[in-house]
Structure 1
């Protein structure tokens, strides 16, 4: 009873300390030490006078103490990106493997963070660990940054006493996943940007350039070719109803995004359509298989039971279609079916993946075979993205030629016709 009371008081004291620290202001200071050497740093305090007093207590002569200015557009590092978590995972894994205590490792990593929000987050996790929480319990306070899969892996490592090894595996996993995401974004960004620029240039031509030509042709009183008349009609429509066109484009994009978020059936339909797209669909399928294999291999290697591992893996595939398939596989495995048989029933995994999974199950090296599958498909994604970039260049030239070049040529057709009659 006395121990429980002491623990409760300790927890209350720690909470009070956290609340007190959160009220302090951060000051940047410059001071001279006993040798006259210029030193600088930062210190949280209630006011500048307390900072100066603390510096004098340490034997330094304060020169300037200024309250840290707040960024013009909100707090620096207002969001914690997956890349930040990947880098943190590698840092904590390296430090723990080198024998650095966990609390000290968190303190060192937090001090080196430029992202203020992530720094505060790591500091809070460190304080929770100091208060007696396990690492996976402390990370559970931030489920967005550290998802269920991440926490399950950490929990498995803590339970087996191999946390440093598991953290190293998690770091590699996060780096590979971010690499795949980066490749997919690279494949999508270039064509979308070129298409957006082409549409913007076309709208500028229709609103500002075509009307000048239209007035010239009207004054000349010449009969206009069909392509020219079509472009002028399009320009007249754009001038009168530009707000309808822009509203339609923006509204369509918003409707698709909101529909995907609110309607599972619509999101499933969009995902199926994207997987059937030429070239790009193949990249998305290979990416989903690579994520599935890598994630399942990591969780299984960490000692997570297969049924629980499949439950955590479903959300990591990056595809609703594959996520639903993994949930179905989990149900099959839970009633005693082999993993490779469940994979075959979905019809989404190539025969090579199924066969390698079967070999892994029979040999007791499932995680090893899944890593081999992941490496193969990650390389396939890399090659496919490079191939896509090569294929898109002539396609983009055709799109630009049809949209912009066709419009310019149609405007000059009447001029060529007039010149031919002279």
Structure 2
């Protein structure tokens, strides 16, 4: 087994790894090395399921805050990473820090070591770490990244909270539908057949849907899951297909604007940090480009880089692609003319952040009543499908 030992050697706090059969053997190894152990923690090795686990964003946020504070306290980066490894609960994140530490020891820079794990931290974080490394302002960068991830998680949490109650009610209705179709509707069918009465259309539709799911429900579910997996595989393999889907997403009302505003906010913020760090405009634009997640927006942004390479200034390049609104273009023009481009980039980033937050709030305002309306329609349909046959029976009896 592998253990992480935190201890004191020559009045200094150090962390080391050791192989041992038990914690007691690990403690013995520590004493043999002249270390007084303070904490011994078993490190669980990777397994086949680790790569499929979702990233614990809260743990990543805590780690980034921890890194920022330790850099501020002037601790060496290898010691900081050892502290992160010791505090990590999720194996996937711990393995990331272990790999980063290993790459630092062979001479890679911090941004190069993080680059191998951009699928975990994201392109924006990678670009920002590189900018912070160039300016020696890593503490501030990690704080900014932690805050950005925290804001994003709050948006997701707010969205889930809005959907929780309607989804629970909807699932309850589906369960009720299954019970009705399995226990109540068959009795109606037998009764109506005996009396020679034709079932109402609503009841027939309910029965047809129920029969379909009884006979083909499992197969339909397998086909849907298989289709989703196939589609995900095809979009990974085909950049053209993936780009088409990304373009379609941008055309969806409200959702498209949410994607657009978030990408523009992130790209402008990365551009602001890069310019403030003293990077040239081409390198800054490359960092901003890497922060964009939507492939269609990425393709348009690439034209900005192309225009800059042809000799245009930033304002001319932005005007050429018509991606940003007139307010942003005006701010950046003023920034270029006054020499305060980084400040104007920050203001523009905040402008798009406000637009993004506004659209998120608008979307959640619409989705909750829409779900409630859908549930009301389903309840009415179920009620009519059950009650209409009873009314027909009463009419015949009278």
Q: Pick the TM interval, shorter chain.
A: 0.7 to 0.9
Q: Which moved more, 1:180-189 or 1:227-236?
A: 180-189
**Alignment CA distance shift 1:393-1:103 (3 Å):** closer
Query: Who is 1:47 aligned against?
Result: 21
Ranges in structure 1 where 5+ consecutive residues have no aligned partner: 1-23, 29-41, 60-64
**Residue 25 in structure 1 maps to residue 21 in structure 2:** no
Q: Secondary structure at the match of 1:222?
A: coil
1:95 alignment partner in structure 2: 70
Give the length in aligned residue pairs: 381
Distance in 1 (alpha carbons) for counterparts of 2:46 and 2:133: 39
Higher relative contact order (CA 8 A, sep 6+): 2
Question: Could you say what secondary structure the match of 1:26 adopts?
Answer: strand
Looking at structure 1, the residues matched to 302 and 173 of structure 2 have their Cα atoms a distance apart, in angstroms, of 41
Normalising by the residue count of structure 2, what TM-score does the alignment of the two structures yield? 0.78
CA distance in 2, matches of 1:77, 1:58: 38
User: Distance between the aligned counterparts of 1:284 and 1:67, measured in 2?
Assistant: 42
Kindly tell me: are residues 186 and 204 of structure 1, through their superposed partners in 2, closer, same or farther at Cα, counting changes over 3 Å? farther
Deviation of 1:396 (Å): 0.9
Root-mean-square deviation (Å): 4.0
Q: Map residues 242-391 of structure 1 onto 2, 5 A cutoff.
A: 242-391=217-366
Structure 1 residue aligned with 2:212? 237
2:167 to 194, 197, 200: 194
Given that 1:153 and 1:304 are in contact with CA atoms closer than 8 Å, whether structure 2 keeps it comes out as no
Mapped contact 2:64–2:145 kept (Cα < 8 A): no
Q: Distance in 2 between matches of 1:241 and 1:77?
A: 30
SS of 2:324's partner is coil
Bigger drift between 141-150 and 213-222 goes to 141-150
Deviation at 1:385, TM superposition (A): 2.2
Correspondence list, 1:30-179, <5 A: 44-48=18-22, 50-51=25-26, 53=28, 80-81=55-56, 84-130=59-105, 132-145=107-120, 150-159=125-134, 162-163=135-136, 165-177=137-149, 179=151
The answer to whether the Cα contact below 8 Å between 2:250 and 2:260 also exists between their aligned partners in 1 is: yes
TM-superposition CA deviations, 1:391-410 (whole Å, max 9, x none): 22221122122234313322
CA–CA distance in structure 2, aligned partners of residues 345 and 118 of structure 1:
42
Match in the other structure for 1:413: 388
TM-score normalised over the length of structure 1: 0.74
Q: Determine the C-alpha separation between the residues in 2 that align with 1:148 and 1:238.
A: 43
The SS at the match of 1:278 is coil
CA contact (8 A) 2:18 2:29 kept: no
Residue 186 of structure 1 deviates from its aligned partner by: 5.0
Matched, 1:208 2:185: no
Give per-residue Cα distances to partners, 1:345-391, cap 9 Å, x unaligned.
Answer: 32332211222222222222222222222222223322332332222
Deviations 1:185-242 (A, max 9, x none): 7547865983973784486257525444333333332122222223223333333333
Residue matched to 2:12:
none
Measured against aligned partners, the alpha-carbon deviations of 1:27-75 in whole angstroms (never above 9, x if no partner) come to 99xxxxxxxxxxxxx984433473464588799xxxxx99888899966
